[in-house]
């Protein structure tokens, strides 16, 4: 999936992250608990080396709690990774990040030396809110729109922790289409970059298969229609998203579904699970291998024809 939105500051931020990483002791990556895998920065795995990493699952109050536990166990299989599920309603849990940093760097703590940490996350994941709670004052600008933070900044906390804050970064090309749709569904990608209807169809299909009871309860549906278009139309009729003549206004109904999913009105929902992601990773590797083989075959034919 090619995202038609990649602001210039994001390209600059990617370069800054690569330059700053060697200078920090630890990485704090803020993830969206509803999409823990899809909201990870794919370049971090190859760049962090053996640096400890705390993966903070934000917005956990919006996510399926059983799925959050599964994701924490899955993420902590990676060497040097610890997780913490938080929400803005539980600032005391967010403050545990500082203590977790010290626990992961015991030698540095014994020497009473400053811990330098890089804090990073995709747009609209709640990174600025986490920073403000850790600092105990408003330092980072917050907002509901992606890409609020636009420049790297250094934040000195009172407890010997220094944060290098980076702008929320998305990657311009997403190989796994499902990842792109999940990012768009949660609002990590600006709504102007992708069609509402397209994203809403994805969300409706997922919800019908994984959370059918929540859909029925919220929209007063006795049974769910067979496909996502009919489902969105049924939601539109129930919620009065109608044009003159009684025709469903599809764009309005799509926006309503996405808004109520994003703000938790539909209930606590997680849009991916570890088993699903492992399957997607395998399928993606097969696809990449097939494309590589096809390119090599074309190259052989081209070279043979040139002789």
| Cβ atoms of residues 233 and 257 within 8 Å | no
Residue 179 · residue 160 · CB < 8 Å:
no
Give exposure, 221-250, as e/b (b: 16+ Cβ within 10 Å).
beebeeebbebbbbbbbebebeeeeeebeb
Find out if CATH 3.40.50.720 is the number for domain 195-262.
no
Domain 8-165 has what CATH class? alpha beta
The answer to whether 288 and 175 are in contact (CB under 8 A) is yes
Of 215, 206, 272, nearest in space to 64 by CA: 272
* Mean pLDDT to the nearest integer, 239-244: 93
Average pLDDT over residues 108-112: 60
> Given a cut of 90, is residue 7 above it in pLDDT?
no
The pLDDT tens digits for 133-157 are: 998 888 765 554 444 444 557 888 8
Whether the per-residue pLDDT at 303 is higher than 80: the answer is: no
Three-state DSSP class for 105? coil
* Confidence (pTM): 0.86
CB 25 within 8 A of CB 116: yes
What is the pLDDT, as a whole number, of residue 4?
47
Q: Which sequence spans correspond to the domains of the chain?
A: 8-165, 195-262
């Amino acid at each position: 999936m090619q995202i038609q939105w990649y602001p210039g500051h994001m390209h600059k931020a990617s370069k800054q992250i690569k330059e700053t990483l060697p200078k920090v002791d630890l990485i704090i990556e803020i993830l969206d608990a509803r999409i823990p895998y899809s909201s990870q920065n794919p370049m971090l795995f190859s760049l962090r080396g053996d640096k400890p990493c705390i993966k903070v699952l934000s917005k956990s109050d919006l996510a399926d709690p059983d799925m959050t536990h599964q994701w924490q166990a899955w993420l902590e299989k990676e060497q040097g990774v610890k997780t913490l599920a938080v929400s803005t309603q539980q600032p005391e849990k967010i403050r545990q990040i500082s203590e977790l940093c010290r626990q992961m760097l015991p030698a540095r703590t014994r020497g009473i030396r400053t811990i330098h940490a890089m804090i990073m996350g995709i747009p609209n994941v709640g990174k600025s809110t986490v920073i403000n709670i850790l600092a105990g004052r408003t330092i980072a600008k917050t907002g509901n729109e992606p890409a609020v933070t636009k420049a790297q900044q250094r934040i000195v906390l009172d407890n010997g922790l220094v944060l290098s804050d980076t702008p929320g970064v998305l990657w311009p090309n997403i190989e796994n289409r499902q990842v792109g749709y999940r990012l768009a569904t949660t609002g990590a990608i600006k709504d102007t970059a992708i069609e509402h209807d397209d994203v809403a169809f994805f969300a409706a299909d997922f919800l019908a298969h994984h959370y059918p009871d929540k859909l029925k309860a919220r929209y007063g549906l006795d049974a769910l229609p067979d496909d996502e278009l009919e489902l969105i139309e049924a939601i539109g009729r129930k919620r009065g998203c109608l044009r003159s003549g009684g025709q469903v206004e599809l764009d309005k109904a799509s926006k309503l579904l996405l808004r109520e999913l994003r703000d938790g009105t539909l209930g606590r929902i997680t849009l991916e699970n570890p088993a699903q992601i492992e399957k997607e990773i395998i399928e993606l590797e097969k696809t990449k291998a097939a494309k590589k083989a096809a390119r090599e075959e074309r190259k052989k034919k081209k070279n043979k024809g040139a002789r």
